[in-house]
Amino acid sequence: MCDNVKAKAKYNTWIRIYKLLIFWVISLTLLLVTVLPVHLFLRVFSGIIALPFIYISFILSYSIYQFAAIGGNYQSKIHDLLVAKVNGDGDGKGRILDIGTGSGSLIIKLAKTLPKSILTGIDYWGENWEYSKAQCQQNAKIEGVSDRIIFLKANAAELPFKDDEFAIIVSCLTFHEVKTRKNKTEVIKEALRVLKPGGEFVFLDLFMDRKIFGDEKELLNDLKKHVATVKNYKLAEEMKFPKLLLNKKVLGNATILSGRK
């Protein structure tokens, strides 16, 4: 029997499994203390402390399922939405940059949508992430677009490109993860630095989270000094999500910023 099963691209979800396991281990350990023959105060205290860890563990587990292809496939659906926001004017031959490419899902969708484009995907691919450059290259090869995509390990806060290099820049839930720059607005400006005048950007992040990006209106006013146009769209108003995914710890603060330099 001939087995010519085609390899399938593997796109990990944004949520790290090891992080989920840590929360579940803590949750179960605290629950175990509640049934041990120890002082009543300690058992009650452990039970109370366990509640937020159980809640977070449940939210993370549910989110992983909904983002994955075997669940709601919302990670892919969000990437489809971002691709749809890209106009791709002209002959589509411009250079495209994906900041925080992860396992390559978004940039590969763009490559398929704009078949004349040349694309670059950058990511830090740290040890704490379940992505890798090799995985991106493998996925691009499986999807038949590896000849038009370059993957580079780079820091989003210090992009290894000259000013005005790219016609289109996209980024999905990356800016808030950059640890090397406390002011996340500066990370956004670094992305805009390498976008050519008239070039297009589509960014999705937790822009409504004041603890990360400050006041959203102030953020928009600041960015308007560096771009010709910018619009913001609440992700929850652009597509329907299960209520739990709109938790503030997941996508409740997610907004799309798009426009031209």
Write the CA distances from 101 to 78, 237, 238, integer angstroms.
Answer: 14, 24, 22
Q: Which residue has the tokens 């209106």?
A: 217
Write the CA distances from 224 to 188, 217, 218, 247, integer angstroms.
Answer: 12, 11, 10, 29
**DSSP secondary structure code for residue 231 in this structure:** E
Around Cβ 179, how many Cβ atoms within 10 Å?
9
pLDDT-based confidence at residue 128 (cuts at 50, 70, 90) = low
pLDDT-based confidence at residue 106 (cuts at 50, 70, 90) = very high
Task: Report pTM.
Answer: 0.90
Per domain, the residue ranges of the chain are: 17-67, 74-260
Average pLDDT over residues 232-242: 95
User: Residue 4: is its pLDDT beyond 50?
Assistant: no
Q: What is the CATH number assigned to the segment(s) 74-260?
A: 3.40.50.150
Asked if 80 and 108 count as a contact pair (C-beta separation under 8 A), the reply is: no
> Which stretches does DSSP call E strand in 78-220?
95-99, 118-123, 149-153, 166-172, 195-205
pLDDT-based confidence at residue 2 (cuts at 50, 70, 90) = very low
pLDDT digits (tens, 9 = 90+) for 213-228: 999 999 999 999 999 9
pLDDT-based confidence at residue 89 (cuts at 50, 70, 90) = low
